[in-house]
Amino acid sequence: MRKLTLLLALSLFFGPVIAQTEKDSAAASVKKTADVITQPEFKGGIEKMYEYISTNFQYPEEAQRRSVKGKMEVEFTIEKSGDVTYVGILKGLEESIDEEVLKLLKAMPRWIPATKNGVPVRYKVSMPITIRASRKGQRSSQQLSTYTEN
């Protein structure tokens, strides 16, 4: 009887520990299965996005006269539908250029949305844009680097 009581006491003590261990191993196996996330993509790729910005950017006259140039940092959200929303300037150059870039980003065509395990998801993009003063009669050029998740 004493052995049975001891066995029963030990099983009550170690039972929850074993159950907890099994639960932890199940959680660990879930953690091992990583989410597959794909970044959003401008239709046609980064080169098409570069072309869109270069073609549509109108260098403000006052900024052009003063040869304003430099690096900006912008951010926006690509919705599940691929629409561009929540456009903002993280680091601007000057008001007229910032406004032109905001206008350009808000008018961007729909993107291919990001996905998580094959399901479209919202995705915040931040991206630098370098504005260079143009020569007379030419548009300014922009350099884009890859976007990053935030």
DSSP state of 41: B
- On whether the CB atoms of residues 62 and 86 are closer than 8 A, the answer is no
pTM exceeds cut of 0.85: no
What is residue 133's DSSP assignment? P
Fold of 37-149: 3.30.1150
Per residue in 98-149, pLDDT tens? 999 999 999 999 999 999 999 999 999 999 999 887 654 444 444 444 444 4
Q: Where are the domains of the chain?
A: 1-33, 37-149
109, 63 contact by CB (below 8 A):
no
Q: Is 98 exposed, middle or buried (0-12, 13-18, 19+ CB in 10 A)?
A: middle
